[in-house]
C-alpha cells in the first residue's frame, strides 16, 4: 500500500502523483518502472518512475488515462492509497561515462526525463531535453525540467509554443547543426510512432540511441512472456531485459502489432467500468 502525498492534473488526461514509497525510492534508477494494482482483483499496469527522492522516500509517477485501469488511477487523490506498488522493475537505462546526452519525451514519456536529466547532470554530462506534444496545453513538466538540463527544447505539432513540428524534426536539426548541439547519445521515451521516428532520425549517424519500449505487460517479472519484443532478430522480455533497447535493433512493426492484440477486450473493460460507475451514481 502506498499513500498518495500529492496528486495534480497536468492535462485533462494526464495526472502527476507523488507517493510515499521509501524502499522503491532508495533503489530506483532512471529507466525503471513500477507495477501498480489499484484494487483487489484488478489488473497490474506498468508505470515508469518519473522521479524519485531518496531522502524524502518518495517516487513520482505520471499517468495518462487511456483505458479502464488508468482511469481508476487518475481518479485517485492525495490522501488516498494505491493498493500495490511493486518495484523498481526492469533494468536501469545504460548511461555513457561522458559526452552529451539528449533525452526525448513525448506524452507521459516527458516525465521520465526528470530523473534521467538529474542523474546525467550529477554525473557531469552535457544534457538536452526535447519534449513534445500536440499543443501548448498538452506539454507537461517543462518548468520542472528546465533547471535540470543544459538545454530544453519544447516542440508542438501546431506551433502554439516552442518549435513547430515533431521532436524528431528538432532532433534532426540539432544533429545537422553539429558542434555542441549534436548529441553523442539519444534516449527516447513516448508513443511508439515517436520512438520509431527518433530511431529513423539517428540511423546511420553513429549516435547511440535507446528507446524505452512499452509493450503490454502482465506480471512484470519475466514469467508470462506478454511483453516480448524483437530486438536484433531475437526475442527479449521488456520487463526484465529492458524496457530500454537499442532503437536501431528494435522491430517496431512487431511491437506495434502486439500492442493492438487485445483491443476488443480493452474496450469491454472500459465499458464494464463505465457501467459500474453509472450503477454507483444511481
Ligand atoms: C515499461 C512501461 C512503462 C509505462 N509507463 C507509463 C507511464 O509512465 N505512464 C502511463 O500513463 N503509461 C505508461 N505505460 C503504459 C500503461 O501501462 C498503459 O497505458 C496501461 O497499462 C493501460 O491500461 P488501461 O487498462 O488503462 O488501458 P487498456 O484498456 O489496457 O488500453 C487502452 C488503450 O491503450 C493502449 N495501450 C495499452 N497498454 C499500452 C502500452 N503499454 N503502450 C501503448 N498503448 C497501450 C491499448 O492498445 C488501448 O488502445 C507504460 C507501459 C510500459 C510497458
Ligand atoms: S510482463 Fe510477463 S514476461 Fe514481461
SS3 79: coil
Which band of pLDDT confidence, cut at 50, 70 and 90, is reported for residue 259?
Answer: confident
Report the atom number in ligand 1 closest to the C-alpha of 108.
9
Q: Express each pLDDT in 48-103 by its tens digit.
A: 999 999 999 999 999 999 998 999 999 999 999 999 999 999 999 999 999 999 99
Distance CA 121, CA 153 (A): 17
Q: What is the pLDDT of residues 101-125, one digit of tens each?
A: 999 999 999 999 999 999 999 999 9
- Measured in Å, residue 99 CA sits from the centre of ligand 2 at 34
Parallel/antiparallel/unpaired status of strands 208-212 and 185-189: parallel
Whether pLDDT at 263 is above 80: no
Q: What is the pLDDT of residue 277?
A: 64
41 vs 17: CA distance, rounded Å: 22
228: pLDDT confidence band, cut at 50, 70 and 90?
A: very high
Rounded to an integer, the average pLDDT of 224-253 is 96
pLDDT grade for 36, boundaries at 50, 70 and 90: very high
Name the band, by pLDDT with cuts 50, 70 and 90, for residue 41.
confident
Ligand 2 binding pocket (C-beta < 6 A) is 217-220, 222-227, 237, 239
The 3 state secondary structure assigned to 217-234 is CCCCCCCCCCCEEEECCE
| Spatial CB neighbours of 29, under 8 Å, sequence gap ≥ 6 | 88, 92, 93, 115, 119
Atom number in ligand 2 closest to CA 224: 2
Query: What pLDDT sits at residue 265?
Result: 65
The closest-lying atom of ligand 1 relative to the alpha carbon of residue 239 is 1
Peptide bond into 88 cis (omega under 30): yes
Mutate which of 14, 47, 73, 256 for ligand 1? The one with the most ligand atoms within 8 Å of its CB, which is 47
Determine the pLDDT at residue 42.
86
* Closest C-alpha to 216, from 269, 268, 266, 272: 266
What is the distance in angstroms between the CA of the first residue and the CA of the last residue of the chain?
30
Give the distance (Å) from ligand 1 centre to CA of residue 216: 7
Distance (angstroms) between ligand 2 centre and the Cα of 32 equals 14
Kindly list the structural domains of the chain, giving each domain's residue range(s) and its CATH number in brackets, ordered by start.
2-89 (2.40.30.10), 100-259 (3.40.50.80)
Cell of 157: 505539432
Check pLDDT > 90 for residue 261. Answer: no
Please state, rounded to an integer, the average pLDDT across all residues of the chain: 93
Contact 168, 194 (CB under 8 A): yes
Name which of 66-75, 189-198, 226-235, 262-271 the model is least confident about.
262-271
Contact 179, 99 (CB under 8 A): no
67: CA distance to ligand 1 center in Å? 8
Q: Which three cell numbers stand for residue 78?
A: 492525495
Query: Strand 185-189 and strand 100-106: pairing?
Result: parallel
8 Å CB contact between 33 and 91:
no
Q: Structure pTM?
A: 0.92
pLDDT digits (tens, 9 = 90+) for 173-188: 999 999 999 999 999 9
Whole-number Å distance, alpha carbon 240 to ligand 2 midpoint, is 8
260: its cell numbers: 493492438
At residue 273, the pLDDT reads 65
Q: Say if residues 109 and 136 touch (Cβ distance below 8 Å).
A: no
> How far apart, in whole angstroms, are the C-alpha atoms of residue 139 and residue 156?
8
CA atoms within 13 A on the CB side of 140: 26
Ligand nearest to the CA of 245: 1
Mutating to test ligand 2, I would choose from 46, 239, 243 the residue with most ligand atoms within 8 A of its C-beta, which is 239
The number of the ligand nearest the C-alpha atom of 228 reads: 2
Q: Which residues of 148-161 are buried (b: 16+ CB within 10 A; e: fewer)?
A: bbeebbbbbeeeee
Residue with cell 499496469: 45
At residue 127's C-alpha, the angle toward residues 56 and 6, to 5°, is: 30
Give the pLDDT band of residue 269 (cuts 50, 70, 90): low
Bigger pLDDT: 273 vs 119: 119
Which residue is closest in CA terms to ligand 2's atom 2? 224
Report how far ligand 2's centroid is from the alpha carbon of 280 (Å). Answer: 34
Amino acid at each position: 500500500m502506498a499513500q498518495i502525498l500529492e496528486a495534480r492534473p497536468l492535462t485533462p488526461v494526464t495526472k502527476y502523483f507523488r507517493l510515499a514509497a521509501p524502499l522503491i525510492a532508495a533503489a530506483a534508477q532512471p529507466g525503471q518502472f513500477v507495477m501498480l494494482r489499484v484494487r483487489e482483483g484488478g489488473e497490474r499496469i506498468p508505470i515508469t518512475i518519473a522521479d524519485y527522492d531518496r531522502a524524502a522516500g518518495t517516487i513520482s509517477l505520471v499517468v495518462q488515462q487511456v483505458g479502464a485501469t488508468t482511469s481508476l488511477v487518475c481518479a485517485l487523490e492525495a490522501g488516498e492509497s494505491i493498493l500495490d506498488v511493486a518495484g523498481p522493475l526492469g533494468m536501469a537505462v545504460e548511461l555513457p561515462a561522458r559526452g552529451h546526452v539528449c533525452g526525448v519525451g513525448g506524452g507521459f514519456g516527458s516525465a521520465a526525463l526528470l530523473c534521467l536529466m538529474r542523474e546525467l547532470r550529477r554525473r557531469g554530462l552535457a544534457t538536452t531535453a526535447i519534449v513534445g506534444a500536440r499543443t501548448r496545453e498538452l506539454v507537461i513538466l517543462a518548468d520542472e525540467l528546465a533547471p535540470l538540463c543544459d538545454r530544453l527544447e519544447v516542440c508542438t505539432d501546431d506551433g502554439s509554443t516552442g518549435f513547430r513540428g515533431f521532436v524528431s524534426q528538432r532532433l534532426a536539426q540539432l544533429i545537422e547543426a553539429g558542434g555542441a548541439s549534436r548529441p553523442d547519445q539519444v534516449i527516447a521515451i513516448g508513443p511508439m510512432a515517436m520512438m520509431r521516428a527518433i530511431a529513423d532520425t539517428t540511423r546511420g549517424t553513429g549516435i547511440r540511441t535507446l528507446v524505452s519500449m512499452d509493450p503490454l505487460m502482465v506480471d512484470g517479472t519475466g514469467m508470462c512472456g506478454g511483453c516480448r519484443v524483437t530486438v536484433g532478430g531475437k526475442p527479449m522480455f521488456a520487463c526484465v531485459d529492458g524496457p530500454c533497447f537499442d532503437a536501431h535493433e528494435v522491430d517496431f512493426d512487431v511491437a506495434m502489432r502486439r500492442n493492438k492484440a487485445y483491443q476488443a477486450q480493452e474496450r469491454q473493460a472500459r465499458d464494464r467500468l463505465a457501467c459500474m460507475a453509472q450503477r454507483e451514481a444511481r
